[in-house]
Structure 1
Amino acid sequence: MTTTSATPRTDQGERPHGLRDFYENPNVPVASGDARSLRQARMLAAALGPATAGAGVVLDIGCGDGSAARVAAPLLAGHRVVGVDWSQDALRRAGAHLPHVVRGELTDGGLPFADGSADAVLFSEVIEHLVDPDSALDELRRVLRPGGHLMLSTPNLAAWYNRGLLLAGVQPVFSEVSLRGIHGRPGREVVGHLRLYTARALREFVAASGFDVVRLAGAPFHGVPRPLRALDRLACSVPGAASILLLHARKA
């Protein structure tokens, strides 16, 4: 991992003026790797079971370019997957992978779905980008039916390599201090992370938001250098040290 600098730019070649401009920038990465998507989809498919009594509704909130849904689709056959994002550029790209995409925001009533209308929500690496994650989980809870499934993934602040980096006085991977460049941490891309969670913090936060936590698992990170990827996969057996946290919860 080498420390480099990167500056995301808009189509006009200018720096973004705020979060909304930042996420509408097509150069900002919106996919997080197939390994994480596949593990998350397997967890959700096991929780939902086969769609024998009619299609269940799965909302992919913050669907990005739809790549996570593309990976999950074979495992969620029979269920209706709807991609939701507030970035028009992301929705245009997601349309290539999803038959249903709609625009929505994670504010009170900002998702265009009735109360209790969804069987499950995929929330793949979105929460770390939010200014107000409390209101976001309130909105997800609103659209889920009683007992509905929340499948959330997010980078782990306490990933095995971040523990060593902090001891060395280096900014952890996944953490960012600017939308304009990399400062003090390994990596090449600015992706707009505002909040990071440890396994304990994520469990407590989701439980305090009205969900029953069912399972916490780990997933590898596609950005780990190749010589360290075997070690990163091994760390998944200890979720608190894994690169990515995968949490399954149900609406209480």
Structure 2
Amino acid sequence: MSSAVSSDAGGRLTSCSPYLPHECDGNSYLNGVCVQFNSRLQAVSNFTAAYQECTKREVNLVFLFDGSKSLKSEEFKMNKIFIKYVMKKLSNSSIKFAAVQFATTFRTVFDFNAYKDGSAKDKLMKEPHMYSLTNTHGAIDYVLKNLLNSVSSGADLSAQKALVIITDGEPTDFDDENALRRCDEQNIIRLVIGVGKVSLARLYQLASEPKMNNTFYIQNYNRLQGLLDDLQKKIYNIEGSKDTHSKDRQKELSQSGFSVLYHKDSVIVG
């Protein structure tokens, strides 16, 4: 690409070239760099043309974790420690967290207000184990009504909504309230972690599209920590994009007035 050169009445020259790469949440932007020269061709100032600021989307994310009787006390504790580590890793992001334990009934462990005021981790670690069934669909319905769509919980209704489900059992209830369909209608991203002898087919039903990419499977709770980096990247990608389908993108390049996107097998130029 060639540089653009202009001059003014005072004899100053301005030269601009679009060669400065600028990273924003995995996307590369090229912004023009303009330098002003005096009559002796000495650089006196510089600026970037139409600079693309990095923007991070507000994300409201709920951990929905299994408290059924199939978990041992130590496994239930591992659940909570894993959630605590994820929040710590993403503490400097624009993501607000909440958590719900589910079994036959459902209980808000902490909401977005508690996360904001700093009391979430203490409430999480003190949460007792319910020891009951696995009413997963009812739990998702509970999250929709009481957290993600509730201003009183501290939720931002304009934020991207996300749900991380951690379970070692298949649902013992039916989706009578069409909770999964409502999640799809609201573009709620659902990441599912299945543990032990749980059907992958049933886990896929709980996850959002693309279901295989949004489903994780581990043999036991000891391996939860091994998922930390992968889950962190998934959640960070939700925060970094204004498009909930950005997970399908492979490469993107743009500058003011011109952009190129490589999507699956296609190149899109705009």
Identify the TM-score tier after normalising by the shorter chain: 0.3 to 0.5
Q: Which one has a bigger Cα radius of gyration?
A: 2
> What TM-score do you get using the length of structure 1 for normalisation?
0.37
Q: Which has the higher strand share?
A: 2
Normalising by structure 2, report the TM-score.
0.35
Q: Considering Cα pairs closer than 8 Å and 6+ residues apart, tell me whether 1 or 2 has the greater RCO.
A: 1
